[in-house]
A and B are shown apart, each in its own frame.
Chain A
Amino acid sequence: MNSERSDPGPYAIVIGLEVHVQLKTASKLFCGCSTQFGAEPNTQTCPVCLGLPGSLPVMNRRAFELALRTAVALQCQIPEYTKWDRKNYFYPDLPKGYQISQFDLPMSHSGWLEIADPKGEFPVRSIRIRRAHLEEDAGKSLHDEASGKADSRIDLNRTGTPLLEIVSEPDLRSPREARAYLNELKLLLEYLEVSDCNMQEGSLRVDANINLHLADAAGGMVATPIVEVKNMNSFRAVERALAYEAERQFAAWRETGRTIAEVPKSTRGWDDQRQATFAQRQKEESSDYRYFPDPDLVPVTVSVSAVDAVRAALGELPAATRQRLESAYRLNAYDADVIVNQGRQFIAYFEQVAQRCGDGKLASNWVTQEVLRILNSAGGTIDRFPISADGLGELIEGVRGGQVPSSRSKELFGAMFSEGLSLAAALRKLGIQALDAGALEQLCRQLLTENPRIVADVKSGKAQAAGALVGLAKKKNANVNPAEVREICARLIAEMP
């Protein structure tokens, strides 16, 4: 299955994504239990999240604030009145027999997120956000895969963790766009510091709805049945699952001709091992959730001025940062994108390097190549990078000013990184002595005195003869800058009578 395919084929792919992100709160949405991942089963529960008789939920203020911050950053409309509803269904990981969620009056709706492909494979697109609402998570069921007969085990530690469900309109037109949307959304959520977005720990989960629009024999448009794809545990898996599913749906349509009008929405899981989707059994009556307002909770009202205050406090968001880096540091779109995609701390690092060395382009080359290479291979984060932004800025500045031989700059970078040295210490360590202008001129005069033949050759018009001087200068001092040697010698020869 080729997910890199750029040819759209004889159909248009229509994708909408439902993303659940766990909000970064200390306690759960309706009780004081910890949201920490990885605890021993059933050690982070209380009467409220166990759904014990008589317990009542009380909303976590911070969860609402984080949800609001995200919704505003997604350019959503924030209604002045929002409420919580019960979604009723039976499942062993749902101890109350209903999930507290939002139905007809979600806390936000009608926003958008802009996605772009720096490689230019698709144009800049604005993906509409249908709604983003706050709800509680369910627990975890562990099933005995082998026999299927043993009891399932239920862990309710996760029950009641705050989730923001972000639903896009079906605006995505390719698996690649879907992945770009997820990348951009994740970047935004990390920028906003509202979620860890860790797919392995389940703090970001993606369900995708996909179908195809194609031309039928009569030249009209038909659509294939909508499929909801689940169980994708990375963005790469989402892209592959959607690419697989698009081709599967096309093949199925060619074979059966069945359309959206004939087949209800179905659910398929993604099997990462087999790289294929498979049909999942439907939960019975899944369509009749009997939503109604939760009488245990009261509504929340949000004033226009409160939304304005949230907006004002958002700070610069990724799209704006990209533009600013491009104009303030003269970066191209690709480099700006690479930097911004690394997150806020990396951007701050880059900016400090650029300001220290006075050259945005050079700073960008260093951070996106040298620094990122190390971070990617060693798996560290920028806040723990051994070379401070000032240190790297100083190095680049030295190279620009000629005080540091550019031929040895990578060596110096290596020493600063692996041994945590300052630039000065690294220079000493490598025996690199920056020569001041006077000393260099002295060295050159000595060279010319010792090599009258070369001087004569140059004077007689053989300019390339001066090349030999550079080699001789290096023998005297390894730290000389060849260009400077060439330039000084040329001047001195010209000055000779």
Chain B
Amino acid sequence: MMGLTFWFRRFSENNAVAGLARLDAIQLQQMLRTGQISSLELVDALLEQYAAWEPRVGAFLNFRADQARDQARELDRRRSAGADLGLLAGLPVSVKDILCTVDYPTTCGSRMLRDYHSPFDATVVARIRDAGGIVFGKTNLDEFAMGSSTENSALAVTRNPWNTEHVPGGSSGGGAASVSAGICPLAIGTDTGGSIRQPAAFCGISGLKPTYGRVSRYGLVAFASSLDQAGPMARSVPELALLLEAIAGHDPRDATSAPNEVPSYSHTIAEPLRGLRIGIVPDHFDAGLDAEVDAAVREALGAFRARGATVREIELPASRQAIATYYVIAPCEASSNLARYDGVHFGHRSTERDRTDESPLARLYCRSRAEGLGAEVKRRIMLGTYALSSGYYEAYYLQAMRVRRLIRDELLAAFQSVDVIVGPTTPAPAYRLGEKANDPLSMYLEDLYTVSANLAGIPALSVPCGLSRSGLPIGLQIQAAPFAEELLLRAGAMYQQVTDWHQRRPAA
């Protein structure tokens, strides 16, 4: 607990309620625990931050200040009554609006679900509440998590707090912006092909995609079921450890959730790592990589070496097919997962009527889906429907599943000789709003470094590792073997002990 004592000393020097938004979740928790601040004071301080930043960044789709204050008051009451409030006691967590909540609509950023109210909380949300966390609004995303810029949201525009002309990344762009702007210390994102890590990199924060099965998918509205995984976003890695510990673990309602024990990530996070064996993939540093990102990543590797890590090159030839594999498997699953949005049992129904129509039902389906779903979602449904349709299944889906095994086997083999694989999270820093909106394929290629982890089901982390000359954050990706989150987080925390990129803030 050396780390905690260290932070304790730091916040003691700063006992003003103002400036709370600058503190991290672990510092805040300590102040809440010792009674230096109340949950309500914290929420009110963050509401000021919300008022200052939200109009500029648009991180949220739905935000209810009253609700947050009510929850804070209730927690303060329980705390003063001596209750054990749990791991997240009093900490606000923003939730990506693709996780079901009973007290907010769950829109998935889609016109289709603009007014949809889930009758249940996602397991992740229930665990946050059980751990004493405060659900602090629902954040914007690319519609149904399909995209890498949050520009595909049908309901709102989210901007990068570092430069509002730029995208925050996606699909968990709202969550990344909410943390980056200091509106809340913690956020829940989801990652199907990089959707936690890429916006974390673009917004200068840390984000973890856990091992597939580590966190329950119950209540996470499915995009691509075999790839989707919810995970924590925060400024620093120890905060990720805290939030992961609260949400991870087996869920009997998710048949694909892992029965493995959940280590106490938050307790082991500060333990030093000796002799970390790092692998780097030469492909990650080829011509497609932005020079500033390249330099920042190499500098980060230097920082690891300085802490005793060794670095060696590993070849991952099958992973060169990762994007192609991903853009078959994910759309196939999506085309089926999104079939339920047909205007019959829930969601948008077209009001257009044509009584002369021979099949009013077929028309209702086609119109409701045409009106309710956006261009990127339609594109992926079309792609997946095509790849699964008779005559093409073997060439595309089946072949993609075979290549997926090659990619996974190759990564698992690599982790026999290295502990982590380190490289850039994205080929370049955040691009301008609208810059890639009309070129889907180039948008897909943005996921170059991130999709392998989803295909293989391994955990992967992004931490800030630099700023470009134009002042945009750069992300470093660290990947590890399945269920090696503990090691992965300790590697990230070790890096953050010797760097301060994660403490940089966008200018107010």
Contacts and interface: CB of A to CB of B under 8 A. Distances in A.
**A–B in direct contact per CB < 8 Å:** yes
Interface of A: 47, 50-59, 86, 88, 90, 92, 95-98, 152, 154, 156, 284, 287-288, 290-292, 295-298
A54 B221 contact: yes
Contacts of B120: 47, 52, 54-55
B221 A95 contact: no
Nearest to B339: A97
A55 B219 CA distance: 6
B52 interface: no
A154 B253 contact: no
B336 A88 contact: yes
Interface in B91-137: 99-100, 106, 108, 113, 116, 118-120, 122
A90 B388 contact: no
Nearest to B366: A90
7 contacts: A54-B120, A54-B220, A54-B222, A59-B255, A95-B344, A295-B226, A296-B255
B390 A287 contact: yes
B67 interface: no
A86 B256 CA distance: 16
- B interface, by DSSP: helix, strand, loop or mixed? loop
B24 to A, nearest CB: 30
B119 A88 contact: no
Contact of A86 (B108, B118, B253, B336): B336
Contact of A92 (B100, B119, B335, B344): B344
Interface string B329-356: 0001101101110101110000000000
The residue among B99, B113, B362, B388 with the most chain A CB atoms within 10 A of its own CB is: B388
In the complex, the 7 A-B pairs of residues with the closest C-beta atoms, listed nearest first: A97-B339, A295-B226, A290-B388, A295-B225, A54-B219, A53-B221, A54-B100
Interface in B177-192: none
A54 B255 contact: no
B118 A53 contact: yes
B365 A90 contact: yes
B218 interface: yes
A145 B310 CA distance: 76
A399 to B, nearest CB: 62
A96 B255 contact: no
Interface in B213-232: 217-222, 224-226
Contact of A56 (B99, B253, B346): B253
Interface in B438-459: none
The residue among A56, A296, A298 with the most chain B CB atoms within 10 A of its own CB is: A56
Given A290-B385, A292-B336, A57 B122 contact: no
Given A53-B106, A56-B254, A290-B385, 16 more contacts: A47-B119, A52-B346, A53-B100, A53-B108, A53-B340, A54-B122, A54-B218, A55-B218, A58-B254, A90-B339, A92-B361, A287-B390, A292-B393, A292-B397, A295-B225, A297-B255
A348 to B, nearest CB: 40
Interface residues of B, number: 44
Given A95-B345, A290-B388, A58 B255 contact: yes
A104 to B, nearest CB: 10
Nearest to A152: B361
Given A50-B345, A292-B393, A97 B118 contact: no
A479 to B, nearest CB: 71
Contact of A51 (B100, B335, B340, B397): B340
B197 to A, nearest CB: 21
Contact of B342 (A59, A97, A297): A97
A96 B339 contact: yes
Contacts of A284: 362
Given A92-B361, A292-B393, A295-B225, A54 B99 contact: yes
A176 to B, nearest CB: 37
- A interface, by DSSP: helix, strand, loop or mixed? loop
The residue among B345, B346, B361 with the most chain A CB atoms within 10 A of its own CB is: B345
A47 B120 CA distance: 8
Given A51-B345, A97-B336, A290 B389 contact: yes
A295 B400 CA distance: 14
A96 to B, nearest CB: 5
B323 to A, nearest CB: 19
Contacts of B99: 54
A423 to B, nearest CB: 57
A154 B344 contact: yes
A54 B106 contact: yes
B256 A296 contact: yes
Given A97-B342, A98-B336, A295-B226, A56 B385 contact: no
A314 B361 CA distance: 47
A57 B362 CA distance: 27
A57 B222 CA distance: 12
Contacts of B344: 92, 95, 154
A156 B344 CA distance: 12
Given A97-B336, A97-B339, A290-B336, A298 B118 contact: no
B252 interface: yes
Given A54-B99, A90-B342, A288 B116 contact: no
Interface string B220-251: 11101110000000000000000000000000
B389 A96 contact: no
B256 A298 contact: yes
A5 B151 CA distance: 71
A290 B335 CA distance: 10
B332 A292 contact: yes
Contacts of A156: 345
Contacts of B106: 53-54
The residue among A92, A156, A292 with the most chain B CB atoms within 10 A of its own CB is: A292
Interface string B268-291: 000000000000000000000000
A288 B388 CA distance: 9
Nearest to A288: B390
A195 B29 CA distance: 57
Nearest to A139: B345
A97 B342 CA distance: 8
Contacts of B224: 295
Contacts of B362: 284
Contacts of A291: 388, 393
A232 to B, nearest CB: 26
Contacts of B113: 53
Contact of A298 (B108, B255, B333): B255
Contacts of B388: 88, 290-292
Given A53-B116, A292-B393, A88 B122 contact: no
Contacts of B218: 54-56
Contacts of A59: 255
B339 to A, nearest CB: 3
Contacts of A53: 100, 106, 108, 113, 116, 118, 221-222, 340, 346
Nearest to B110: A53
A298 B332 CA distance: 18
B122 A98 contact: no
A220 B292 CA distance: 78
Contact of A295 (B333, B345, B346): B333
Nearest to B343: A92
B339 A98 contact: yes
Contact of B119 (A51, A52, A90, A288): A52
A96 B122 CA distance: 18
A152 B361 CA distance: 10
Contacts of A96: 339-340
A96 B342 CA distance: 9
